[in-house]
Structure 1
Amino acid sequence: MNVLASLLALGLLIVIHEAGHFLAARLQGIRVNGFSVGFGPALLKTERNGITYALRLLPLGGFVSFPDDDDNDQSIPLDDPDLLRNRPIPQRVLVISAGVLANLLLAWLVLVGHTAAAGVPGDPSPGVMVMTVQDGAPAAQAGLRPGDRILSIDAQSLGSGDAAVRAAVDPIRRSPGQRLELEVQRGEGVRTLRLTPADQQGTGRIGAQLQVAMNGGSRPVRSPFEAISAGSAQFAGLFSRTVSGYASLLTDFGTTAQQVSGPVKIVEMGAQLSSQGGSGLALFLALISINLGVLNALPLPLLDGGQLVFLLLEGLRGRPLPERFQLAVMQSSLLLVLGLSVLLIVRDTSQLAVVRQLMGQ
């Protein structure tokens, strides 16, 4: 059930992202001829008001299609003012950026709604919370589990709050291949675990996601404004850490690239968080929605950010970039993204515990 909840959450995020593009176009009277979840052959398809809605074979994203993309469609004049390419640049910018805005808005609404329903979290508890653990990683081999709270490393208390996360991450990064002794609280008991961070290009990694440990208690919100304020603060923190993570791909690619996860690993993380109840599922939904928004905003071909770069260059040149150039960039980028997705799926699947058991490892 946890895996199913994770899959449904990912599907919802894709639908919300594409719905942002779709609604931004339709509300401006721009022609749309397709709304698809997934890529490849259509498994389910229906047509309403000239728009084809489809669920496709490969669940790696989705797309909204426009008549502009179909060179064989001669039913619409090329100078039709309702074609996307014939609209002013600000209107096209809104259509392209609406998917990112929809994902960020969803994450904000989820966090505010969860705060309104569950209450305002108490003060940070000592230590750091283990949110997810990768199968076969040093953290899993040492016996760490999602929900554990690490209180100290090598007899050094971690403190609480954001400082505790830094106090936990720093010695791990500095100690590749060296054994560390962790004091861990699990339920009502405290135990000692020993793990050895893996050496990834001179940096220690344990294969676990750590987060500020919050006091299990919470109090009801006093007003809608408090729910908005507390939820917005959580959103700002997640957004800031997500942007920093993507920025580190530029500043420390060799180390950060090892942490990039594919669809399989994301589903596994969602299942782990879902097992912690509604709060875990809400955090997963908000976190992945923010990641999807930030990822699509990157100025890379095939992503929304890359399309915005094309529009920026068009505005500077006073005319669109050559269609053959845009098509070549898009096709090569599609092959790159699909190839990377396949590699990540193979890598992440091979790391799942059930697969290693079947292989006798």
Structure 2
Amino acid sequence: MGVLAALAILAGLIVVHEAGHFFAATWQGIRVSGFSIGFGPVLLERRRRGVQFALRAIPLGGYVAFPDDDEDSDIPADDPDLLRNRPLPQRALVIAAGVLANLLLAWAVLVAQGAVVGIPAGFSATPGVVVAAVQPGLPAAASGLRPGDRILSLAGTSLGGGQSAVEGLVADIKAAPQRSLQLVAERAGSTVALTLTPDAQNGIGRIGAQLQPSGSEAFRPARSPLEVIGHANRTCLKLIRRTVDGFVSLVTHFGETAPQVSGPVKIVEMGASLARDGGGSLFLFTALISINLAVLNALPLPLLDGGQFVLLLLEGLRGRPLPQRLQLAFMQSGFLLLVGLSLVLIVKDTSQLSAVQQLLGR
């Protein structure tokens, strides 16, 4: 059920994104020919008012199609309701609407969290640091650490609890490249002793693990609707800043950040775990993934909304569209990039699943 819930969330976020494009176009009277979730061959379809609504075989996103892209369309090329014949501001709104829809959804989910679960009232910390994820082939995995382990002590000294325990452990790891560290961790109710030797990256110790405080978030009922909205505003802005910082870090520190990038398989695994735990985490997960989808699509890359915006901006500066062959080459390169990157991430994430690791005898 957890996996189904995570898949439903991801599918819903894609639907919301594409619905933003769809309704921004139809609201302005712009002709739309298709609304698809996924790419490739059609699995299910329904036609309504001349629009094909389709579920396709390759679940790597979705798209809204326009008659402008159909060479066999019987609509005259000078039809004022074709997207390409509309003024630049109207076309810009259609392009931006997907990103805006995901940001609005993230905010609405955070409002729902405040209304249903409550307002965060502090973290109830327990001793230790939880290992949330481990990257195969790196020191944490080599030492025997597993996701779900709770590290209790380092070199015989208890870690304490809360965010300060995480920060202290991270500082000790960074300060100990190529040095053996003795850990005691709790796993399934029993303790295990492990030896961890961080790698050295630019003189700083790295282990390839995601660490988080041990404990749970406490919530209290909201005092008023204004408090719910205020908390949603602050949390949404914080998540947007963190997401943008993450993408900037990916560009500026690619070698260190790239191994942390996750694809759809890892996202579903994380969502399934949160769905089983219940509580407010699933709301936050939904908002965070929706914001990530918005920021990702805003990047000025081929096939993404940001890439379309770049083409529109160049058209505005030139006073006429770019040659069709250049636009086509731009979009095709984006499709190959998207499919290639998605396949790499799917293979990487699948190989890290615990069930696959057991089959491989790791």
Answer whether TM exceeds 0.5 for this pair: yes
Does residue 283 of structure 2 align to residue 319 of structure 1? no
- Gaps spanning 5+ residues in structure 2: where? none
Letter in 2 for 1:63: Y
SS of the residue 1:235 aligns to = helix
Shift of 1:351: 1.9
Does residue 3 of structure 2 align to residue 18 of structure 1? no
CA change 1:307–1:143 in 2 (3 A) is same
Aligned position for 1:257: 258
Shift of 1:279: 1.9
- Gaps spanning 5+ residues in structure 1: where? none
Letter in 2 for 1:77: P
Shift of 1:190: 11
Shift of 1:239: 1.6
CA distance in 2 between counterparts of 1:349 and 1:338 reads 16
SS of the residue 1:319 aligns to = coil
The question of whether the paired residues in 1 share the 8 Å contact of 2:40 and 2:58 is answered with yes
CA distance in 2 between counterparts of 1:36 and 1:56 reads 7
Aligned position for 1:222: 223
Does residue 339 of structure 2 align to residue 338 of structure 1? yes
The question of whether the paired residues in 1 share the 8 Å contact of 2:182 and 2:195 is answered with yes
CA distance in 1 between counterparts of 2:325 and 2:114 reads 49
Shift of 1:267: 1.2
CA change 1:180–1:124 in 2 (3 A) is farther
Deviations along 1:254-275, one digit per CA (max 9) or x if unpaired, are 1111111121111112122222
Aligned position for 2:49: 49
Deviations along 1:80-107, one digit per CA (max 9) or x if unpaired, are 1111111111111111111111111111
CA distance in 2 between counterparts of 1:133 and 1:219 reads 29
Aligned position for 2:35: 35
Moved more, 39-48 or 200-209: 200-209
Give me the TM-score of the superposition, normalised by structure 2: 0.87
Aligned position for 1:62: 62
SS of the residue 1:123 aligns to = strand
Shift of 1:134: 4.0
The question of whether the paired residues in 2 share the 8 Å contact of 1:152 and 1:184 is answered with yes
CA distance in 1 between counterparts of 2:268 and 2:40 reads 21
CA change 1:159–1:130 in 2 (3 A) is closer
CA distance in 2 between counterparts of 1:103 and 1:156 reads 43
SS of the residue 1:334 aligns to = helix
CA distance in 1 between counterparts of 2:128 and 2:99 reads 31
CA change 1:100–1:164 in 2 (3 A) is farther
Does residue 116 of structure 2 align to residue 117 of structure 1? yes
Moved more, 91-100 or 268-277: 268-277
CA change 1:178–1:267 in 2 (3 A) is farther
CA change 1:131–1:198 in 2 (3 A) is closer
Shift of 1:360: 3.2
Count of residues in Structure 1 that have an aligned counterpart in Structure 2: 357
SS of the residue 1:229 aligns to = helix
Aligned position for 2:132: 132
Aligned position for 2:2: 2
Aligned position for 1:357: 358
Does residue 85 of structure 2 align to residue 86 of structure 1? yes
Deviations along 1:262-313, one digit per CA (max 9) or x if unpaired, are 2111111212222221422212211111111111111111111111111111
CA change 1:117–1:62 in 2 (3 A) is same
Shift of 1:329: 1.1
